[in-house]
Structure 1
Amino acid sequence: MAKFFGTNGIRGVFDEDFTLEFVHDMTLAIGTYFGKGPVLIGYDGRESSPVISKVVSSALNSIGIDCNVAGIVPTPCLEFAVKSLGYSGGLMITASHNPSQYNGIKPCASDGVEISREDELIIEDIYLQKKWLEKPVKWGVTGTENRAIEAYLKGIISHVDSKLIESKHFKVVLDLGNGAQAVSAPNFCELLDCETFLINQKIDGAFPGRGSEPTPQNLSELSKIVRENNADVGIAFDGDGDRSIFCDNKGDILTGDKSALVLTQHILKKNPNSLVVTCLNSGSNIEVLAEKFDSKVIRTKVGSVEVSRKMVPTGALIGFEENGGFMYGKHNQVRDGCMTLALMLDLLATSGKPLTEEIASLPPSFTTKDKIPCSAEKIPKLISSLKEEFPNSDISDGIKITLDSKNWVMIRPSGTEPIVRIYAESESQEKLDTLMSEYLEKVSSIISR
């Protein structure tokens, strides 16, 4: 079991469990794992990010590794730049959707994809044993990298019909969430001749607009601006810009599952006989859709690392999570909010239909999720109690209780916060509401014993 790496990188409350001393020593471990430079460093807009960046670069230099700093960039921009500009690895300083007091480190390998679970354990072992690279013959140097955003946007545009999109002059509402996509998504829309309306566009690590995580509850402003301007689509990004939640042309917020299904349908029409990778907590309609296009679905544990690292060896075309993380293998096998927006515009340009009509063409889907505060020590009792009650459940990642093919509940601890998440799918909204309230009550009761 990893001690420091969670579902997605290492995170903690800055200056409490995520101190500059910890950052320094963990960077030495990551640098030792990389073995050589150059390493690319990027960060989100959190107040602590610039000082962490300095500690990271000096720690790498102290073991002879050269690095370049790209400054504020979205996580997928850093990952794509590592791959396309020839870096040995990358370090993204971010706590993604966590509240402002958190920060973290997310390493990516030379292929531009997050490192594997096995490699996370190797880094942790180096850190615990303090077996870093010996004092170098020559110190490393730190420079700047100014090409990352341009390389990223060119890469995205190369995968869509840019001329067709330009000809449509789409109206797009961007809720940038005071996050890192503010440096790239508006430029991307401008390059494709979209009329753009911006919300929360000022980068601010306190995330004053709506918080760092887009949820159906905090996107009312996005819905309103879409309706008022008769926009074709709205999109909200999380703090580091790798996830995206969509709003259709009527102002309705889509679940991550729903937008993933409509994009998958669009991509598989052009690329049948493909492979899709998704997590255990995604809805069951992806199998229905894949079968329609002679494609297959592989399920993984929850977490973008699990999906990304399964996509690489299998050559999967599509990967996604229910939380709005969508991956397009032809670009990079990582979650990418701006690439996902590009695919949505490509879909709208190709079909010529409004997004509401495209959504209506999908098989009906009713999914939801919620969370309950829960300390780590209570998790084993929670899972074992549920396993006792439902002995045939899947316990490969938390516990997934399958009632039948259309009705299931999954309970798992968050890898980034002291909470337990509850996911559910049902055949109707009414049954879903009943199922969710039953299991929220059940889980709360076990935790409080």
Structure 2
Amino acid sequence: MHSIVAKFFGTNGIRGVFDEDFTLEFVHDMTLAIGTYFGKGPVLIGYDGRESSPIICKVVSSALNSIGIDCNVAGLVPTPCLEYAVKSLGYSGGLMITASHNPPQYNGIKPCAKDGVEISREDELIIEDIYLQKNWLKKSDSWGITRTENTAIETYLKGIISHVDSTLIESKHFKVVLDLGNGAQAVSAPNFCELLGCETFLVNPNIDGTFPGRGSEPTPQNLSELSKTVKEHNADVGIAFDGDGDRSIFCDNNGDILTGDKSALVLTQHILKKNPNSLVVTCLNSGSNIEVLAKQFESKVIRTKVGSVEVSRKMVPTNALIGFEENGGYMYGKHNQVRDGCMTLALMLDLLATSEKPLANSINSLPPSFTTKDKISCPPEKIPKLISLLKEEYPNSDTSDGIKISIDLKNWVMIRPSGTEPIVRVYAEAESQEKLDTLMSEYLEKVSSIISR
């Protein structure tokens, strides 16, 4: 189905280094293509805290106006806030200006369809075709107009709160540590916690597009400040968001940072208890315990290629209740079929309010799982050889997305090229920590040696 490889769209939107491959001229022409694909306005525009974002926003809005499309600017908002506002306020599409967790010199564009979900892989190719043929809409009789949209954040937070037991959460007066990572959730997550009566402690609270605190991507290695703050204040939970606020990594009450897989399992268990016979969508690189868990609640799991677009776009037609990625991207279908850091925090508070036990205890009662991931620099031209040599050595592997080499259900390694930077990612799961370490070092060595040939 996706035999044609997108030229500009990566795993998640279009990204590049601002003023190098991601120039204002490129932004202008690509926006004309996206506007032509939308066909009509109004289009909602939002952006993250990167230094180039406000300038790009002006180019985007004027390009849309030049082909007769009206747009409203929501300003600085998290990606899931823009997506939810598109769906609930009746826009014909949305454009989020962000490079998510990429380093500060990057920026990008993420289009979202009128249903509030990222556009499909097929639609990305349609937009690229319009861009390459330059056959965009001709200007209609009148220019489009740009206005502002002031209700996006309020609409978003009201939407989230409607899905949890807010009265019960308020009665608990939870202590929550938010590591905002100098990113876009700073405009919404603290207000959200305040609305639910939480006592909140902030880490890296100021929006800053250079991400001076810990970088824009929350990883177990850079969240020591979050962990320390949770322990210092004896908090119930800590959470770290990425640059555009759609992903979230949790820290339990003991100060232990949880993998995306672990927090996804504990949240899924909480949601499936209330909603048995549901559907969960996740990628090929998530741990195997999700099947074990779903079975306990008569629920099913569908696996997709890696990438939030793949998960989101599978959730829509199947009407799945839950979707997740191992990197902390969690999707709650009743709210919107997209990754949403603040919705995920709401679900976690709902879990804590109903379970009556500390988060660490809930995590410890999950079936044990040992997963890890790493990355290796790799020029894109070496990828085909790497995958084909591994395929020769392991002919029974799944090659629908990179290569997944399964020893058995509990022990596997997956190697795939990143869709956003010149690296390959290596994921693994094993039945014990010892076996995981051995498996991982064996394959990191193997992959490195093939790349260096």
User: Structure 2 length normalisation: TM-score?
Assistant: 0.99
2:210 to 191, 195, 206: 206
1:191 matched to 2:209: no
In structure 2, distance between residues paired with 1:207 and 1:135: 39
In structure 1, distance between residues paired with 2:173 and 2:406: 45
1:71 Cα offset (Å): 0.6
Give the corresponding residue for 2:440: 436
1:290 matched to 2:291: no
In structure 1, distance between residues paired with 2:205 and 2:379: 35
1:339 to 326, 340, 343: 343
Q: Helix, strand or coil for the counterpart of 1:353?
A: coil
1:165 Cα offset (Å): 0.2
1:276 matched to 2:243: no
Give the corresponding residue for 2:353: 349
1:140 to 140, 144, 150: 144
In structure 1, distance between residues paired with 2:122 and 2:297: 34
Give the corresponding residue for 2:48: 44
Q: Helix, strand or coil for the counterpart of 1:339?
A: helix
In structure 2, distance between residues paired with 1:19 and 1:66: 23
1:13 matched to 2:14: no
In structure 2, distance between residues paired with 1:418 and 1:11: 13
In structure 1, distance between residues paired with 2:378 and 2:20: 20
In structure 2, distance between residues paired with 1:11 and 1:434: 35
1:24 matched to 2:28: yes
Identity between Structure 1 and Structure 2 (%):
90
Q: Helix, strand or coil for the counterpart of 2:44?
A: strand
1:375 Cα offset (Å): 1.1
1:360 Cα offset (Å): 1.0
Give the corresponding residue for 2:406: 402
Q: Helix, strand or coil for the counterpart of 1:81?
A: helix
In structure 1, distance between residues paired with 2:209 and 2:139: 35
1:58 matched to 2:62: yes
In structure 2, distance between residues paired with 1:381 and 1:51: 41
> Which one-letter code corresponds to 2:62 in the other structure?
S
Give the corresponding residue for 1:225: 229
In structure 1, distance between residues paired with 2:356 and 2:75: 38
Corresponding pairs, count: 449
2:75 to 71, 77, 101: 71
Q: Per-residue displacement from partner, 1:264-305 (whole Å, max 9, x unpaired)?
A: 000000000000000000000000000000000000000000
In structure 1, distance between residues paired with 2:47 and 2:377: 28
1:417 Cα offset (Å): 0.7
Task: Name stretches of at least 5 consecutive residues in structure 2 with no aligned partner.
Answer: none
In structure 2, distance between residues paired with 1:181 and 1:6: 23
1:424 Cα offset (Å): 0.2
Aligned-residue CA RMSD (Å)? 0.3
Over 2 Å off, 4+ runs: none
Give the corresponding residue for 2:452: 448
1:135 Cα offset (Å): 1.9
Q: Per-residue displacement from partner, 1:192-247 (whole Å, max 9, x unpaired)?
A: 00000000000000000000000000000000000010000000000000000000
In structure 2, distance between residues paired with 1:436 and 1:214: 22
In structure 1, distance between residues paired with 2:395 and 2:433: 27
Q: Helix, strand or coil for the counterpart of 1:422?
A: strand
In structure 1, distance between residues paired with 2:139 and 2:251: 53
Give the corresponding residue for 2:8: 4
In structure 1, distance between residues paired with 2:409 and 2:34: 43
Q: Per-residue displacement from partner, 1:172-204 (whole Å, max 9, x unpaired)?
A: 000000000000000000000000000000000
Give the corresponding residue for 1:87: 91
Written as runs of structure 1 = structure 2, the 5 A alignment for 1:350-429 is 350-429=354-433
In structure 2, distance between residues paired with 1:43 and 1:123: 20
In structure 2, distance between residues paired with 1:126 and 1:235: 41
Task: Name stretches of at least 5 consecutive residues in structure 1 with no aligned partner.
Answer: none
> Which one-letter code corresponds to 1:246 in the other structure?
F
